[in-house]
Amino acid sequence: MHVLHKGLPTVQILEGGGSYWAVEDFSWLQGPMAMVGGELYVLSNSCIMKQRGENNPDKLVSCASEFQSRIGFGMIGLGDSIYLVGGVIGPGPRNQCIKSLSDVDILNVTSERPTWRPGSPMTHCRGSISGCALLRI
């Protein structure tokens, strides 16, 4: 398990079968993260980047400036895609209102030309998301 802290380049790693924590400086990008196909994707500065590791440069997958003012959303990898779920549009220079969202936006990161598409909006929930998880019950 890797634990990342907002604003810090260091990562805490639970090792030794869960008996101790190691701290490493990976200099990973900051932002919401999701795993797809064993690869780490980060939403940083309105762009989805594929985090490649220590000696490899990060790869730009897709940019989406329309998400720049969206905050408090959930992000999860599901199948071959990244899902952005809910959140709010925060106040900005031209708008003083906070708008709760039920939107779901999907990016297939394995396609040759990844593009965003709308998913089915949430029906009961809207606004800030605490987290997303894939559950198998």
Which residue type does 15 have?
E
Whole-angstrom distance, CA of residue 76 vs CA of residue 41: 10
User: Which domains does the chain possess?
Assistant: 1-29 (no CATH), 31-137 (2.120.10.80)
| Least reliable range by pLDDT among 3-7, 11-15, 42-46, 106-110 | 3-7
81-92 pLDDT, tens digit per residue, is: 999 999 998 777
pTM reported for the whole predicted model: 0.82
